[in-house]
Amino acid sequence: MNRTTIVWSTLSVALALSLAAPPAAAQGTASVTGRVVDSITAQPVAGARVTMLGSTAGALTDREGRYLLQGLAPGTVTLRAQRIGFAARDRQVTLTEGETATADFVLRAAATVLSDVVVTGYGSDTRANLSTSVSSVSAAEIQSTPLAGVDGAIQGRAAGVQVVQNAGNPGVGMTVRIRGSASISASNQPLYVIDGIPMLRDDFSQLGVGGQDLTAVTGINPDEIETVDILKDAAAAAIYGSRGSNGVVMITTKRGRVGTTRFTFNAYTGSQGVPTGNRWDLMNANEYITYMNEAASNDAYGPFYFGDPDTIGVGTDWQSAVFRSTPVTNVTVGITGGSDRVQYYVSGSRFLQNGVVIGSGYHREAGRVNVDLTASEKLRFRSSLSIAREQHDRIENDNSIAGVVTNAIANQPWMSLRRSDGSFTTTDDGLEYENPLAIASYDITQSRGLRALGSLEANYTLRPDVTLNGRFGMDILNLRDLRWYSPNVGGSYGESVGGESIIGNNTPTRYVVEGFADFHPRIGPTASLSVTGGASAEWNSSELDYLDGIGFAGDQFQYPGNAATVVAYDGDWTGHNLVSFFTRANATFRDRYLVTASLRADGSSRFGSNNRWGTFPAMSVGWKVTEEPFARSLARRGDLKLRGSYGVTGNQDLNDNFAPLSRFARANYADVAGFAQNSFGNPDLQWERTREYNVGFDLTIFGGRATIIGDWYKKITDNLLLNRPITSTSGLTSATENIGSSQNRGLELTLNAIPLQPSSPEGLRWSTDFNISWNRNEVTKLFQNEPFSVGLYSTSRVEVGQPLSAFYTLRFLGVDPATGDAIFDDINADGSIDAADRVFIGSPHPKFWGGLTNTLSWKNFDLRSFVQFTQGHMIFNAIGVFANDGGYYHDNKFRRLLDRWQNPGDVTNEPRASYDGTSGADLISSRHFEDGSYVRLQDVTLSYRLPPQWAAALRMADSRLYVSGRNLHTWTQYSGYSPDVNSNGSNSNTALSTEFYAYPLARTIMVGISGAF
Amino acid sequence: MKFKTLLPALLVVLAAGCDSILDVRPINEVDEGTAITTAAGARAALAGLYDGLQSTGYYGGTFTFFGDLSAEDVEHTGTFTTYRQADLNALTADNTTIEGFWDALYRAVGRANIILARVPTVPGLAAAERDQMLAEARFARALTFHNLVKLWGEQAPVGMGVPIPLVPPTDIPTASQITRSTTGQVYTQILADLAAAESLMTLSGGGSTTHRATIGAVRAVRARVFLYQANYAAAEAEAEAVAAMGYTLAQNYAHLFTQDGQATPEDIFVLEFIPVDFQLLGFFYRAKGVPGGRREIGPTATLLRQYDPAYAGTPASYNPVDLRGQHNIAFTDTIAPFFVYGSKWPTGIGAEDVHVIRFAEVLLIKSEAEARQGKLAEADTGVNLVRARAGLPPVNSIALGQAAAIDSILQQRRLELVFEGDRWPDLVRTGKAAAYLAAFVPPLPPRAAFQVLYPIPLNELDVAPGLVQNTGY
């Protein structure tokens, strides 16, 4: 803390010195005064600069929008009023010696990044007044994205925010990391706050469907969203205290405005597919049999062990058998408008996305009613309510031997899809794994959600400078799971038990009650202060039940009610509550010195009685350099603000709500009810703590045509919530403690520019938005600093001094041209290759990532392209364990093994085929890791605005036709469907960037229309 | 407006209500302090102990799988690389299945220790019921210590055994200071637990109760323990005592492995499984292509040739006389492509009861103990009962001579108890494991002699630094 104190003191001194700026020089006795107001709000524009062209004279407007230029020479002169965020206005005025002329200006707002309003949690501010680090994504950027959730829509849109899609299954959760990963056992996903209410985010399904999981974030239609603001540094997120460490995604939904009733609509439809070039390049039947025969004969099993390749042909392309070309459609209609007293936004939508893999899909029907009611001059009400229904048609996916995609990749190509009688082939016919098309056709895996999410807020103006706010919010979700393992899938577990049916119900609920007051005292013409303070209480609970039965009289009975035998069941309740007090003060001095300080105290039922409460302070300062008199000459062209912040946030997102208690839980013996101890309590348990420093700048140049926002941060997280192993001889194997630390530091740059600005609205306009982020992650302390391995085949390692879950395995050096055997780095030079020879070979975290959006507008056309990139991360391609194993397993093989070693002297990187694994090809090593860097042309949209006369004829306004392509091309060295992969799903902290039969990403081409009438 | 007063009121309510809001207790779980304070709680804890024995890391899975995989009759045919290590006798200390195995056994010990610590002071328990509970806990602990020491412990009594925690841990730092007792100390504790169990036990043996520990189970396990200690006279005496309780062989071998847990007079102690308990045995042994499972592990050609020496790699060539060979082995198809798989467990549902000890084993213990003491005439009795049930002709141990007689009894043990996790501990006990490992010569991957013992899991060594790893790992 000492160092922090010094930083603040230094900044304070700098502020104090700059207050003593010299006045402007005088030339004559004429004066001019006036007022600058906003054209829309008619409110005064403070801080506008009024200058006399051709001279150095100039002044800033005060809080009332007034300016005064004195000591001017008489004559007719041109005055210019300008302010970042507004278009400059010129006026001619005649000055007379000894008199004061009047010249008022009405400025029209010109949208710039700095004039955007940013939601900060319990309040909002313009970006120009912000001294913390917040990224924003606008509605235009996220609407019409053919993805279920807003998490995917913000991928590549905001600096410092890394989104990994994980897989292409419709509607599944994505990994969102704001400024890196910090935690090992608690969640690293951000907090989502929608219209002030923290939203349920987790996967509440009770079905294990392989690697990918659901997320409650999909319950919101992205078309209902006005803006997304992402609180990144601790000073911004600290207002959410014990839940701020992973950053906060503030979602603001659309609201009605005063005006006549408008009907709005946006509809698109598209076709999705998996382009042939994006698929796994696997062997055909002839190549496979040849390879396997060679593997067998190399290990002395004799020739033609797997049959004669020449009679076998090319066989079955299993991938084509399960992929399809299939539609995605979305229709959102809205009614919006309002009077002075009531404004409303009502919308309804249907989003339907079939999956490119047969059997999968997602659809959502959602409605929203947002109403603003001015009950009296002093009392306003705001209600926001969304109701949604979701249906996930999931298929068994990655990380499962019964997965549709898994078995399409793994099954042998010489096998047929169907028997001669048209029925599906099965493992009885020799398939290594269940027929994927049979699974996709007969099995059901459905999760259906009903969601009510909303809030009611009252604002009461007690005095002109004091507002009281009360808010009630709720998020109620009911998720019903249904699973049916059909007996028709030959060779499946479902067949062996006569069908299996599972139903599950989970009802998580959250209720929030908050009260807070805003105080805006008037403290001077160029200074302002606003203080917010209040309290919040939150109740969370979740009730679930589950029933799993087997043995059915036929394929038509798909609910457990018809099961002969119950094989599993559950019924449980859990909950956790949070009570908070918070306050924040924003102060501005001389319109150029910004100070914000906040403090939140959180009490959580999740923590031990000894450490139930935590406090989370934060402070940030900003200095608008170009508002300084000495920088006046620069101010006309641009604007520079320097920012610095420090804050403390927490993370309490443990799966276990009762970790402080030692508990006994169900442990039945056959039909005798029993229990046994399942946890060691820890009454000292508390939150993870993150301290974060942030230094940044907002620079606007070229008169507002380009804005650059840069940030550097360092995040130190300690007291990690860790399920640390304990000696099993105690009877239990782990205990949750606060042990360990990690660090993230990084750089972020955002550039928004308008390189071409036409003089007429018809002309060619080019705008470009670019962001790039670097983050470096390091584990700095662990339990006894003891490293541990996690993930598939234990290749991800958590070790001090390394990035979280860096890849750790044998290093493959090449193939011995004499023997064809794989050569590995014998690190300890003991002559044998074993676990002791493992080394760090790469990181699952990218070195840098970002996005680039370009928009060209000409006449009625807009062309927008979005490129997203991620560089420098490695992918563990675990499919290679079976498909690049030398022939140890019967799975189909990568086609690149055609280049394998075959004869002494062959120089290649693919080892000799070996059925017994004697060539070392089956050892897990750096051979199975690939560079995951990629650049993706994510989105290209061409739209055409209907000319006003056409629109008028159709009684429409603002109507737009568009054609759009998504996931158009990816430049990458990676051999799989998508380098944006993790088969461990979005809830995995420590097993990252792993490919194990992930679902492919679709390429989508769509057409749409939007408009209003 | 009312709102003016509402907000401060809300704040006050919040502040006052904090403590009660923040006190959230679980409903489906019970606090450790109150769990075992009533008779019902004590009974629930006892059921929890048997649940511990049922674990898929213990009798419900790994204990059986690894005991088979490490030896010659079973091989890895699935996808789990940790299983493959066991099959190749190339275990590493970071093998996660070994870790789960070790954890499951000590979890059962921990549950027994909690019962032994808490149940004596629980009010409202009749003395007889209380003593029976304590006896069952002692029995389960002895059984588990023996299963640990036979796989992880050096054989010499002065050699490194396994840790033997006897009380619930007071705190983690204290628990972390545990060390390995010598093998002799472990056996002393096992016998002490069995003796205490016998004296406290009120349930007699003889087959009326088989799903819980009885005096019959205590004495049968003690016979096995004596056999492992090479205390053959004692083993014989215990086995005879068990035989005197009225157990007899099931008429049909297949009756022992039925889905509905059909009782047989051979049962001494079985773990009862219903579908919700789900043991993995059938699911992992049975083949993918027929009702059952994932064939994670399967029988070797070596095993098939034990049942039918004429087996030549095809279903048609497998025609065992041995009824056990008919029951235990199946093929997915009669023509290629086919898989051979273990069919001892009739389904993949996981509801078959698992035999912890049954009378056939007791007979074989008795015969072996007798043969090793040179009582060759007596030795024939037990083994020939087992052979007869399998449809095999009797042997004459005297005609065979002592060494061959012992081998023929061990061979019956192998064929009788296959897929029950007995083969590898048997090879270790009889000193044949080292020879088995040495028999692998190129081009087969070499297997190191130290692999006779399983490694202590790496994670365990990290958190209990007083534990010493077995040599070689």
Token pair recorded at residue A101: 């002329």
> Please, which residues have CB within 8 angstroms of residue A724's CB and are 6 or more apart in sequence?
A734, A735, A736, A737, A739, A783, B463
pLDDT on residue A639: 86
- Are the beta carbons of A496 and B348 separated by less than 8 Å? yes
Q: Give me the phi and psi of B258, to 5 degrees please.
A: -90, 155
Cβ atoms of residues A983 and A994 within 8 Å = yes
Average pLDDT over residues B445-472: 90
Average pLDDT taken over every residue of chain B: 92
Q: What distance in Å separates the CA atoms of residue B126 and residue A314, rounded to the nearest whole number?
A: 75
Token pair recorded at residue A618: 């934060």
pLDDT (tens digit, 9 = 90+) per residue, B319-354?
A: 999 999 999 999 988 877 788 999 999 888 889 999
Question: Which residues in chain A have Cβ-Cβ distances shorter than 8 Å to B348?
Answer: 493, 496-497
CA distance A347 to chain B (A): 31
pLDDT on residue A630: 85
Burial pattern A773-798, b for ≥16 Cβ within 10 A else e, equals bbbebbbeebbeebbbbbbbbbbbbb
Instruction: List the single residue in B30, B45, B47 with the smallest CB-CB distance to A663.
Output: B30
Question: Which residues in chain A have Cβ-Cβ distances shorter than 8 Å to B35?
Answer: 664, 675, 677
Average pLDDT over residues A149-158: 91
Question: Measured at the alpha carbon of residue A558, what is the angle toward residues A552 and A559, in degrees to the nearest 5?
Answer: 95
> Pick from A583, A595, A581, A628: which is nearest to A529 by CA?
A595
CA distance A816 to chain B (A): 18
- Are the beta carbons of A567 and B349 separated by less than 8 Å? yes
For residue A41, pLDDT over 70 is answered with no
> Pick from A139, A165, A159: which is nearest to A247 by CA?
A159
pLDDT on residue A971: 96
pLDDT (tens digit, 9 = 90+) per residue, A158-187?
A: 999 999 999 999 999 999 999 999 999 899
Burial pattern A176-199, b for ≥16 Cβ within 10 A else e, equals bbbbbbbbbbbbbbbbbbbbbbbb
Rg of chain A over CA atoms, in angstroms?
32
Question: Which residues in chain A have Cβ-Cβ distances shorter than 8 Å to B26?
Answer: 574, 657-658, 661, 663
Place of tokens 């740059």: A749
Place of tokens 């003089």: A759
Average pLDDT over residues B291-301: 86
Question: Which residues in chain A have Cβ-Cβ distances shorter than 8 Å to B11?
Answer: 515, 534-535
pLDDT (tens digit, 9 = 90+) per residue, B376-421?
A: 999 999 999 999 999 999 999 999 999 999 999 999 999 999 999 9
Question: Which residues in chain A have Cβ-Cβ distances shorter than 8 Å to B1?
Answer: 378-379, 460
For residue B207, pLDDT over 90 is answered with no
Reported confidence tier of residue A203, pLDDT bands at 50, 70, 90: very high
pLDDT on residue B317: 95
Question: Which residues in chain B have Cβ-Cβ distances shorter than 8 Å to A299?
Answer: 443
Average pLDDT over residues B50-64: 97
Cβ atoms of residues B364 and B382 within 8 Å = yes
Token pair recorded at residue A282: 């696997």
Q: Give me the phi and psi of B30, to 5 degrees please.
A: -125, 145
Instruction: List the single residue in B1, B31, B176 with the smallest CB-CB distance to A662.
Output: B31
Question: Which residues in chain B have Cβ-Cβ distances shorter than 8 Å to A669?
Answer: 47-51, 54, 272, 277
Instruction: List the single residue in A577, A666, A889 with the smallest CB-CB distance to B21.
Output: A577
Instruction: List the single residue in A495, A662, A784 with the smallest CB-CB distance to B32.
Output: A662
Average pLDDT over residues A284-292: 96
> Which amino acid, A431?
L
Reported confidence tier of residue B445, pLDDT bands at 50, 70, 90: low
Instruction: List the single residue in A581, A676, A881 with the smallest CB-CB distance to B45.
Output: A676
- Are the beta carbons of B291 and A612 separated by less than 8 Å? no
B-chain residue closest to A516, CA distance:
B7
pLDDT on residue B9: 57
Size of the A and B interface in Cβ pairs below 8 Å: 268
pLDDT on residue A532: 95
Q: What distance in Å separates the CA atoms of residue B360 and residue A737, rounded to the nearest whole number?
A: 49
Average pLDDT over residues B83-90: 92
- Are the beta carbons of B51 and A569 separated by less than 8 Å? no
> Which amino acid, A905?
G
Reported confidence tier of residue A6, pLDDT bands at 50, 70, 90: very low
Instruction: List the single residue in B168, B178, B274 with the smallest CB-CB distance to A727.
Output: B178
pLDDT on residue B1: 44
Q: Give me the phi and psi of A990, to 5 degrees please.
A: -115, -5
Reported confidence tier of residue A313, pLDDT bands at 50, 70, 90: confident
Cβ atoms of residues B182 and B194 within 8 Å = no
pLDDT on residue B426: 97
pLDDT (tens digit, 9 = 90+) per residue, A920-963?
A: 998 899 999 999 999 999 999 999 998 878 877 877 777 899 99
Q: Which of A772 and A77 is assigned the larger pLDDT? A: A772
pLDDT on residue A230: 96
Q: Which of B16 and A938 is assigned the larger pLDDT? A: A938
CA distance A416 to chain B (A): 14
For residue B422, pLDDT over 80 is answered with yes
Within B119-246, where are the H helices? 127-152, 172-175, 183-200, 215-228, 232-243
> Pick from B361, B442, B429, B457: which is nearest to B154 by CA?
B429
Question: Which residues in chain B have Cβ-Cβ distances shorter than 8 Å to A573?
Answer: 27-28
Cβ atoms of residues A992 and A845 within 8 Å = yes
Reported confidence tier of residue A725, pLDDT bands at 50, 70, 90: confident
Average pLDDT over residues A625-647: 84
CA distance A201 to chain B (A): 21
CA distance B63 to chain A (A): 17
Instruction: List the single residue in B22, B96, B103 with the smallest CB-CB distance to A604.
Output: B22
Question: Which residues in chain A have Cβ-Cβ distances shorter than 8 Å to B169?
Answer: 730-731
For residue A20, pLDDT over 50 is answered with no
Cβ atoms of residues A643 and A132 within 8 Å = yes
Within B73-171, where are the H helices? 81-87, 96-118, 127-152
H/E run at residue A371 = strand A361-374
Question: Which residues in chain B have Cβ-Cβ distances shorter than 8 Å to A493?
Answer: 283, 293, 348
Reported confidence tier of residue A109, pLDDT bands at 50, 70, 90: low
pLDDT on residue B116: 98
pLDDT on residue A874: 97
For residue A10, pLDDT over 50 is answered with no
The single-letter DSSP state of residue A384 is E
Reported confidence tier of residue A8, pLDDT bands at 50, 70, 90: very low
Q: Residue A790's beta-bridge partner residues?
A: A796
CA distance B15 to chain A (A): 8
Place of tokens 């299963």: B147
ipTM (interface pTM) = 0.92
Q: Are strands B297-299 and B74-76 parallel, antiparallel or unpaired?
A: antiparallel
Cβ atoms of residues A789 and A796 within 8 Å = yes
pLDDT on residue A934: 97
CA distance A667 to chain B (A): 5
Q: Is B201 helix (H, G, I), strand (E, B) or coil?
A: coil
Q: What distance in Å separates the CA atoms of residue A943 and residue A945, rounded to the nearest whole number?
A: 7
Q: What distance in Å separates the CA atoms of residue A494 and residue A492, rounded to the nearest whole number?
A: 5
Instruction: List the single residue in A658, A667, A732 with the smallest CB-CB distance to B48.
Output: A667
Cβ atoms of residues A38 and A83 within 8 Å = no
Least confident of A22-36, A183-197, A280-294: A22-36
Instruction: List the single residue in A665, A728, A789 with the smallest CB-CB distance to B102.
Output: A728
Average pLDDT over residues A730-746: 94
Cβ atoms within 10 Å, residue A92: 10
Place of tokens 């509402």: B6
Q: Which of B359 and B263 is assigned the larger pLDDT? A: B359
Q: What distance in Å separates the CA atoms of residue A247 and residue A256, rounded to the nearest whole number?
A: 29
pLDDT on residue B8: 54
Candidate ranges A111-115, A506-510, B290-294; pick with highest mean pLDDT: A506-510
Least confident of A552-556, A637-641, B265-269: A637-641
- Are the beta carbons of B24 and A460 separated by less than 8 Å? no
Q: Give how far the C-alpha of residue A843 lies from the chain's centroid of Cα atoms, to the nearest Å.
A: 20
For residue B7, pLDDT over 60 is answered with no
Please report how the helices B376-389 and B402-416 are oriented relative to each other, as an axis angle in degrees rounded to 10. 30
Average pLDDT taken over every residue of chain A: 90
Place of tokens 């382009």: A275
Cβ atoms within 10 Å, residue A275: 12
Q: Where are the beta strands (DSSP E) in A464-499?
A: 466-485
Q: CA A325 → CA A270, A712, B248, distances in Å? A: 10, 45, 66
Least confident of A269-278, A481-490, A829-838: A829-838
pLDDT on residue A788: 84
Reported confidence tier of residue B205, pLDDT bands at 50, 70, 90: confident
Cβ atoms of residues A657 and A576 within 8 Å = yes
Question: Which residues in chain A have Cβ-Cβ distances shorter than 8 Å to B118?
Answer: none
pLDDT on residue A1007: 96
Average pLDDT over residues A193-216: 92
Cβ atoms of residues B89 and B451 within 8 Å = yes
Average pLDDT over residues A654-677: 93
Question: Which residues in chain A have Cβ-Cβ distances shorter than 8 Å to B269?
Answer: none
Q: What distance in Å separates the CA atoms of residue B112 and residue B136, rounded to the nearest whole number?
A: 8
> Pick from A451, A419, A448, A420: which is nearest to A435 by CA?
A419
Q: What distance in Å separates the CA atoms of residue A968 and residue A973, rounded to the nearest whole number?
A: 16
Reported confidence tier of residue B19, pLDDT bands at 50, 70, 90: confident
For residue A831, pLDDT over 80 is answered with yes
Average pLDDT over residues B440-461: 84
Q: What distance in Å separates the CA atoms of residue A786 and residue A796, rounded to the nearest whole number?
A: 14
Token pair recorded at residue B151: 């796989």
pLDDT (tens digit, 9 = 90+) per residue, A570-586?
A: 999 999 999 999 999 99
pLDDT on residue B400: 95
Average pLDDT over residues B185-213: 93
Cβ atoms of residues A64 and A88 within 8 Å = no
pLDDT on residue B306: 97
For residue A500, pLDDT over 60 is answered with yes
CA distance B361 to chain A (A): 25
Q: What distance in Å separates the CA atoms of residue A141 and residue A275, rounded to the nearest whole number?
A: 25
**Helix %, strand %, coil % for chain B, to 5?**
55, 5, 40
Average pLDDT over residues B135-147: 98
Upper half-sphere CA count for residue A758 (Cβ side, 13 Å): 11
Average pLDDT over residues A333-362: 95
Reported confidence tier of residue A2, pLDDT bands at 50, 70, 90: very low
- Are the beta carbons of A670 and B272 separated by less than 8 Å? yes
Place of tokens 């949208």: A111
Question: Measured at the alpha carbon of residue B400, what is the angle toward residues B398 and B403, in degrees to the nearest 5?
Answer: 100
For residue A375, pLDDT over 80 is answered with yes
Reported confidence tier of residue A429, pLDDT bands at 50, 70, 90: confident
Task: Please give the share of chain A, as a percent, with pLDDT higher than 70.
Answer: 96
